[in-house]
Amino acid sequence: MTKGTIGILTGGGDVPGLNPAIRAATIRAVKEGYKVIGIKNGWKGLINIDRDKPLSEQKYVMPLDISAVQAVGRRGGTFLHSARTNPLHIKKNDVPFRLQSEYQLDDNDLTPEVVKNLDYLGINYLIPIGGDDTLSYGAHLHKQGFKCVAIPKTMDNDVSGTEYCIGFSTCVTRTVHYTRQLRTCAGSHERFLVVEVFGRYAGFSSLIPCLAGAADRCVIPEHKFDIDRLTELMVYDKRNNPSAYSVLFVSEGAMFEGGEMIFENDEKDGFGHKKLGGIGDLVALKLKELSPKYNGGEKISSITQRLGYLVRSGDPDAIDSMVSMAFANLAMSYIMEGKSGIMVCLRKGRYESVPLDVVISYKKLVDVSKFYDINRYRPRYENFEDKPMWII
C-alpha cells in the first residue's frame, strides 16, 4: 500500500540542478510511502502515453525509486529529458499518430489527453520542474482540477514569484569563468571582447556577472541601447585598461535603439518563441565600424563569443545543488500537507510558496530605475544594505 503516486517531469531548457531536484523529491517521496513515476520529455511525454499498452511498455514513463536516482544528483542536465512542447497548442503534424483521427485542426488542445493519461498512470500529484512556459501549463492543469506543486528553474532567473530559479547560480559562475578565460585573448590583441549571453526578456544573466566584475559594460533586453554611446564607453574602458582591452556582455534579447530582437530564423517553439541569436556579432561589427570616431581615427577589432550552452552544461555548482534539494523537499512537504496549485520559491531569502498562476500574472524583469545605469550601460553599485544575496 502507498500513500499515492507522484509524477515528476522537466520541461524547457536543461540546466544544472534538475537531476538533484529529481533525486531529492524521489528519495523523500519513497521514504514517506509514495510511489514515484518519472515522465520523460516533459509535457511531450504526457501527450504520447499509449493507454492501450501496459506501464512496462510505455516509452515516456520511467518508474523511479531510490536506486534509480541515487547517483544522478552529481550530474547536470536531466535524465528524464526535456522538450518545449505546449499541449495547448499542438500542430496537426505533431499530434500522436493514434490521436490524429480525433485531432485534425491546425492548432490542437490536447489537455483532455493529458488528463486521461495522468489518470491512466494513477498519478495523484504532479511536480513539474521548469521555467515560466512549462509552469504556465502546470497552472492550466491546476485549473482543470489536477493537483500540481511546481519547482522553478531557468538560468535566466526570470520566473515570476521567486527570487531564485534552479540553474541561475551555475550560469553566473560559468559566465564569469569563461569570460575570464577569454580576457587573455582580448588582452593579447588589444581588442573589444563581446560576449553574448542568454536572456530573452530579462537581463539578470548579463547584469549579475557584470556586477561580479566579469565585464565593463552590459546591454540588457529591458533597455534599448545607443550603439554610438556604447562605443564611446567601450573605447574609454579600453584606453583606461593597462592591458588595452574592454569587455561587454550582450543579452541575446538586447535591442539596438530603434530596433527589435534578432532571431536565427522564423521557426517557433510550442510556446510561440523564435530562437534568438546573433545580436552579439552585430554589436561587435558596429563597435569596430564606429570605434575610429572615439579612437583617433583608428579602428578597434573585436573578439566575439556566444557562450550559449556552455553555461547550462556540466555539473551544478554548490548553490544549485543545495537549492534544488531544498525546493524538492519543500514541494514534498506541501504535497504531504495536501496543498496544490502552488510553486515553491525563495522570497526575501527564505523558502516558501506562491500560487502557481503567479507565473502567468506578470513578467519578472530587471528594475532598470533601481539596478541599471542607462547612461553608463552597467549595474548600479550605490547601496547594498538590506538587499538579498543576489542583489536584484
DSSP string, 100-161: TTT--SSEE--HHHHHHHHHHHT--EEEEEE-HHHHHHHHHHHHTT-EEEEEEB-TT---TT
Q: Is residue 94 among the annotated active site residues?
A: no
Among residues 302, 352, 307, 358, the alpha carbon closest in space to that of 331 is found at: 352
Dihedral sign, Cα of residue 92, residue 97, residue 99, residue 104: positive
Tell me which of 14, 133, 156, 320 is the catalytic residue.
Answer: 156
Neighbours of 265 (CB within 10 A): 8
Are the CB atoms for 98 and 51 separated by under 8 Å?
A: no
Beta-ladder partners of 346: 351
> Strand locations in the chain, DSSP E?
5-10, 35-39, 61-64, 90-91, 107-108, 125-130, 147-152, 192-197, 217-219, 246-251, 263-268, 274-276, 302-306, 342-347, 350-355, 372-373, 378-379
CA distance 391 to 373: 15
- Alpha carbon distance 248, 218 (integer Å): 5
- Of 198, 201, 226, 230, nearest in space to 216 by CA: 230
Residue type, 177: H
The span from the CA of 182 to the CA of 194, in Å, is 10
What are the catalytic residues?
156
